[in-house]
Structure 1
């Protein structure tokens, strides 16, 4: 099977990782493009004998390391990007990468150690440091938009265990907007398909039209958002989810104060 065919399914997830890593869709996509250009120019740089996604992320790591001394691209007019840049400066890159590779991308400690070129103990230490640093910098009031009661309660427990407050749990677009206006949240966790056949996407668009707020989509239908075309949500979790994945996404969303970036 051609290499391009093997790595194609993993590109949307690499773009997600790159955006979360550098805090900017433009800068993240630039690194992904540099990764693909390097593979096209020299296919032998792609590691042999490893899974396609692991090899792709290893090539991305090389592009990231080569780019590490360049400043993060920040739009001076975008306060969220400015917040991300300031917080990135306070968090060591290896800690940020170790956290995202494990909790968000699902790589094992062994795989993360290989990708980062360090020991497994160092990976664990990096993750612990990243979580401690992020916890010190972020606290939020969270609105949960989810029509499945058990899932909503599970998310509420995760949010509260992280030290955040839950402003409300909405099951429809109308309930979501009422909760949004009653107590403006600092973070929104949103499903796509809601109880009355309304759309979590529409709810998020309406909220973002009023004011910016970080959003994490948690859905069984990721294909509705991971289209490979811009714009896409910065944070997207697929159901059924793992608790560490949600915890990492919440921490990263608050760390970067990043909006969903969907819709026109």
Structure 2
């Protein structure tokens, strides 16, 4: 077949978001788009539990979270497990650039989120991006 969809490398996603409407929208959108949202949590401690018990392909995390800690703590734990992180935040601090594959600027649209995940999937498959989606900043992965 000439126009087949390629297999995704990103299938199982953990959403770490403390804004309930954003969390719900992301969970619904990603589920409808064929991703398996393993869990949606709003606290670092809950994210660490999911990281310990689940196989994940990506963590989608805000920087500012409920309770103690923040998204950089989630990213450090994910890195220890070899799981890439995409921050979704209105402001990604400079130190976050060493912890994640990139940052998607808030506010973002459903279309922008899908485009960002497609771009990451392309990179994870070792291919070059033709264009970085609007609102997505990619970080060096050295």
- Secondary structure at the aligned position of 1:204 is classed as helix
CA–CA distance in 1 between the matches of 2:74 and 2:44? 5
| Alignment match, 2:85 | 215
2:131 corresponds to which residue? none
The aligned length equals 125
The 8 Å contact of residues 102 and 139 in structure 2, kept in 1 or not, is answered as no
- Bigger radius of gyration: 1
**191, 194, 198: which one aligns with 2:69:** 198
Q: 1:243 aligns with which of 103, 110, 119?
A: 110
Answer whether contact 2:18 2:66 (CA < 8 A) is retained.
yes
Contact 1:235 1:249 in 2 (8 A): no
Instruction: Give the secondary structure class of the aligned counterpart of 1:251.
Output: helix
TM-score normalised to the size of structure 2? 0.76
SS in 1 for 2:6: helix
**In structure 2, what is the Cα distance between the partners aligned to 1:193 and 1:181?**
21
Query: Which residue, out of 107, 123, 136, partners 1:256?
Result: 123
Q: What secondary structure, in the 3-state scheme, does the structure 1 residue paired with 2:104 have?
A: strand
Q: Which has the higher helix share?
A: 1
1:187 is aligned, of 41, 45, 58, to 58
- In the TM superposition, structure 1's runs of 4+ consecutive aligned residues that sit over 4 Å from their partners are none
Q: Which runs of 5+ in 2 are unaligned?
A: 126-137
Against the structure 1 CA distance between its residues 225 and 178, is the aligned structure 2 distance closer, same or farther, given a 3 Å change threshold?
Answer: same
Mapped contact 2:79–2:99 kept (Cα < 8 A) = no
Q: Secondary structure of 2:59's partner? A: strand
Asked if the contact 1:231–1:261 (Cα under 8 Å) also holds between the matched residues in 2, the reply is yes
Structure 1-normalised TM-score?
A: 0.43
Name the CA shift for 1:158/1:235 in 2 (closer, same or farther; >3 Å). Answer: farther
Distance 2:109 2:69 in 1: 26
Cα distance in structure 2, aligned partners of 1:166 and 1:147? 16
Give the unaligned 5+ runs of structure 1: 1-131
The 5-angstrom pairing of residues 40-119 of structure 1 reads none
Structure 2 CA distance for partners of 1:202 and 1:261, relative to 1, 3 Å: farther
Asked if 1:153 is matched to 2:24, the reply is yes
- Partners of 1:187 and 1:215 within 8 A in 2: yes
